[in-house]
Structure formats: structure tokens, C-alpha cells
Amino acid sequence: MSDDWPARTTDPDGREVVFDGGAHLHLFDRKRNDLLDQVDVILGAVANPDFREEDPVPGRERFYRQDRPTVGSWLRVVVDFNESPAAVWTAFMQEDDPRLQNR
């Protein structure tokens, strides 16, 4: 991870997204400490997702990256675009393929 704080990237639509203290605290509170060392991977999922979809919460979007950081799973990153810059809300690993959930 770079020394720049908050860490930032742009999504495929060119919108700036930050991983700030709020995202850090949310991962810590949810006992997802293993992802705290994966900020570059989390932001990579936002910058170059394998799949993306709207989140049920208005103004949020889900970005997915397959096999990162764990082969055979999907990293889901939820970004809140209700403020500028947009911010990572949460991230977690899931086993199921998100492309098949709504079929």
C-alpha cells in the first residue's frame, strides 16, 4: 500500500473513490481485519472490476473482483457515491458468483 492517505483510485466511470478512516473502522468493527492489509486489492476491485451492480442502498454501487485476494472467491467492495469524493463503505469475501445471483 502506498503512503498516501487516504488511499484513492478512480472507478471505470472516472469517479474518484477513497479508502479513508471510515472504511478502515468499518472493516475493523466487522472483524474483517484480514482485509485491512489489502487496501490496494480493494481499490483495484473498484478501478478494474470483473463485475459491478447497483447496491440496494441508493447512491451505492457494488464492485467485484474474482480470485483476489483468495483464489476461488469474490471480493465485494461497496462504494458510497452520495458524497464527493466517493468512499469505500465496506468490503468482504464471498464464495458465490455475483453474476448468477439475480438470474
pLDDT tens sequence across 56-97: 999 999 999 998 877 889 999 999 999 999 999 999 999 999
Pairing of strands 86-94, 16-19: parallel
Spans of all domains in the chain? 7-96
Model-level pTM? 0.88
Query: Is 1 a residue whose pLDDT tops 50?
Result: no
Percent of the chain predicted with pLDDT > 90: 63
> Smallest Cα–Cα separation from 45: which of 61, 57, 56?
61
Average pLDDT, the chain: 89
Read off the pLDDT band of 102 (50, 70, 90).
Answer: low
